Every structure is written in C-alpha cells, then in structure tokens.
Amino acid sequence: MKKALILGASGGIGSALVEALRGSGWCVTGLSRSVDGLDVTDETSVDRILGAVDGTFDLMFVATGALEIAGQGPEKSLREISAQAMQAQFALNCTGPALVLRHAARLLPRDRECRIAALSARVGSIGDNRLGGWYSYRAAKAALNQIMHGAAIELKRTHKQSICVALHPGTVATSLTSKYASGRKTVTPPEAAGNLLRVLDGLTPDETGLFFDWSGARVEW
C-alpha cells in the first residue's frame, strides 16, 4: 500500500487531498496546526512534529499557505507594503515549507520513485507577472519556487527517483479566496485535489525541480 504525508491536512485543499488519496487506497498521514499543533511558521513545532514521524512516504504534499494573513490582503500598490505583512507572508508561504523540506530526505524512500510537492501560485511567476501588485504574496511564492527548485537538485543526489515540484492549483473556491475570485474560473477543493494528483501521477524523475499548473502545463519562473 502506498503511503502519503499531507501537511496542512485540515485546509480546503489539504483535506481534499487526504480524502482523494484514501479513496484510492492510500495510507494517509495528515498533519495540521488545528489538529496536531503543526505550525510551519515555528521551527520548533516543525521539528517536534515531523521528528516524531516514522517511516517513509511515496508522496509528501505541503498544502499549507494563505493569501490573506491576519486580515491583511494583497497590496494593490507599493504604498501599501508593510514590513510586518511581508514577513508574515514569507513565514507561512516560503519559510514554512522550507522547514518541512529539512525532513524530506529522511521521510522519502531512496530505492523507488517518490514525490514531494508544495502549493505555489501562478502569481509567483516573475515571467508571468503583467499586472503588478500583490507584492508580498507574489514574492513569497516566487521564493518558494526557488526553494523547491533547489531542493529538487539536492534530493536528486541521494534520491535518484525523486520528483520535487511546485504546483499551481488554480483558483480554488474556499472561504479564504472568495473575495478575490470575482471574474475568475474556480474549482472546488475536491476538483483541485484530483487535478493536482493527476499531474503528480504523470510526472517522471526527469521533470523534478519544475513548476506546473493544475492541467500539467509548465509555468515559467
């Protein structure tokens, strides 16, 4: 039986991933802040919770992150940039997944194909940025993409069949994104989970270190 570790398992996409995988016969371990006390912005919390996890997983999925933190939404102009809000975005959307990745080598098998993915966002693409704004969120996701790319290179040295990627799920209809989804095509969390798992299932080790959207198309950095 294949095994998966889902970080952020109580969120919209995270919980949908857990349900989809279990429905497909996977053995799933789900960890979250609300249930397990896993706070990815707290280094001690990450090391304590993940340090207690035994065994290896065919899939690790970092489904943590947020567009709006503590009521602070994306900036519309440079004048709205706040050091505190930017630090909060980086802590949750970049540093948190990076802290999780410190445990990846131990939790991924070396003798077979394995996958590790993190939720990114198309707005984190520098090349695709044609509207400006959303400075903190864009920058944090762009930094996450760099972390995932670097992790893929390092993991490849010891885990020859590893696939480490950043994924854009599209605009997912949750309470956290409702105010920003106007005029955009949305998908439900179960649809998003199904799309992402199909993309992951179709990737090969030669595609590690890349950035894909929900349809499997490459997203430019």
Whole-number pLDDT of residue 175: 67
Looking at every residue in the chain, the average pLDDT score rounds to 96
The residue written with tokens 């802590």 in the block is 91
> Which strands form 162-168's sheet, in the order they lie side by side?
27-31, 3-7, 59-62, 114-119, 162-168, 211-213
pTM reported for the whole predicted model = 0.95
Kindly tell me if the per-residue pLDDT of 180 is higher than 80. no
* 112-158 tens-digit pLDDT: 999 999 999 999 999 999 999 999 999 999 999 999 999 999 999 99
Whole-number pLDDT of residue 26: 98
Kindly tell me if the per-residue pLDDT of 182 is higher than 70. no
Domain 3-213 has CATH 3.40.50.720: yes
Predicted confidence band of residue 184 (pLDDT cuts 50, 70, 90): confident
Kindly tell me if the per-residue pLDDT of 181 is higher than 70. no
Determine contact, residues 100/46, Cβ cutoff 8 Å. Answer: yes
* 63-116 tens-digit pLDDT: 999 999 999 999 999 999 999 999 999 999 999 999 999 999 999 999 999 999
| 192 Cβ neighbours under 8 A, 6+ residues apart | 13, 16, 169, 170, 172, 214
